Amino acid sequence: MKIAVVGTGYVGLVTGTCFAETGNHVTCVDINEAKIKQMQDGIVPIYEPGLEDMFHRNVNEGRLNFTTSLSEGIEGAKVIFLALPTPPGEDGSADLKYILQVANDLGPLLADYTVIIDKSTVPVGTSELVQTAIAKEAKFPFDVVSNPEFLREGVAVEDFMKPDRVVIGTQSDRAKEMMSKLYAPLVRQGNPIIFMDERSAEMTKYAANAFLATKITFMNEIANLCEKVGANVDDIRRGIGTDSRIGKRFLFAGIGYGGSCFPKDVQALAKTSEENDYQFHILDSVMRVNELQKTKLMPYIQGHFKNDLAGKTIGIWGLAFKPYTDDIREAPALYNIEALLALGCKVRVYDPEAMKNVQDQIGDVVEYSKTPYDAIDGADALLIVTEWPQFRTPDFERMETLLKNKVIFDGRNLYELPQMQELGYTYYSVGRQS
Q: Report, in Å, the least distance between residue 13 CB and ligand UGA.
A: 13
Q: Report, in Å, the least distance between residue 251 CB and ligand UGA.
A: 6
SS3 341: helix
* Orientation angle between helical segments 10-21 and 51-60, nearest 10 degrees: 50
Distance of CA 283 to the CA centre of its chain: 18
Q: Does 80 bind ligand UGA (CB under 6 A)?
A: no
Q: Does 320 bind ligand UGA (CB under 6 A)?
A: no
# binding residues, ligand UGA (CB under 6 A)? 21
List binders of ligand UGA among 166-185 (CB under 6 A).
Answer: none
Q: Does 81 bind ligand UGA (CB under 6 A)?
A: no
Per CB under 6 A, the segment of 36-44, 54-62, 259-267, 398-406 that binds ligand UGA is 259-267
* Among positions 25, 57, 78, 152, the unique one binding ligand UGA when judged by CB under 6 A: 152
Distance of CA 125 to the CA centre of its chain: 23
Closest CA to 84 of 120, 131, 115: 120
DSSP states of 234-299: HHHHHHHHTSTTT-STT---SS---SSSHHHHHHHHHHHHHHTT---HHHHHHHHHHHHHHTTTHH
Cα–Cα distance measured from residue 210 to residue 287, given in angstroms and rounded to the nearest whole number: 10
Show the site string, 190-209: x = touches ligand UGA by CB under 6 A, - = not.
-------------------x
Q: Does 98 bind ligand UGA (CB under 6 A)?
A: no
* Among positions 98, 183, 250, 373, the unique one binding ligand UGA when judged by CB under 6 A: 250
Q: Does 258 bind ligand UGA (CB under 6 A)?
A: yes
Cβ burial of 341 (10 Å; 0-12, 13-18, 19+) is middle
Nearer to ligand UGA, 169 or 259 (CB): 259
Q: What is the CB neighbour count within 10 angstroms for residue 375?
A: 25
* Among positions 29, 96, 115, 151, the unique one binding ligand UGA when judged by CB under 6 A: 151
Show the site string, 261-280: x = touches ligand UGA by CB under 6 A, - = not.
xx--x---------------
Q: Does 121 bind ligand UGA (CB under 6 A)?
A: yes
Indicate if 345 belongs to the active site.
no
Q: Report, in Å, the least distance between residue 12 CB and ligand UGA.
A: 12
Cα–Cα distance measured from residue 223 to residue 430, given in angstroms and rounded to the nearest whole number: 6
CB 144 within 8 A of CB 79: no
Nearer to ligand UGA, 4 or 251 (CB): 251
Nearer to ligand UGA, 250 or 368 (CB): 250
Q: Report, in Å, the least distance between residue 296 CB and ligand UGA.
A: 12
Cβ burial of 354 (10 Å; 0-12, 13-18, 19+) is buried
Compute the residue count for the chain: 434
Q: Does 407 bind ligand UGA (CB under 6 A)?
A: no
Q: Does 77 bind ligand UGA (CB under 6 A)?
A: no
Q: Which amino acid is at 108?
A: P
List binders of ligand UGA among 331-390 (CB under 6 A).
Answer: none
3-class SS letters over 44-111: CCCCCCCHHHHHHHHHHCCCEEEECCHHHHHCCCCEEEECCCCCECCCCCECCHHHHHHHHHHHHHCC
Per the residue annotation, which of 18, 28, 261, 345 is the catalytic one? 261
State the residues that interact with ligand UGA by CB under 6 A: 121, 149-153, 209, 212, 216, 250-252, 254, 257-259, 261-262, 265, 321-322
Which residues form the catalytic set? Answer: 261
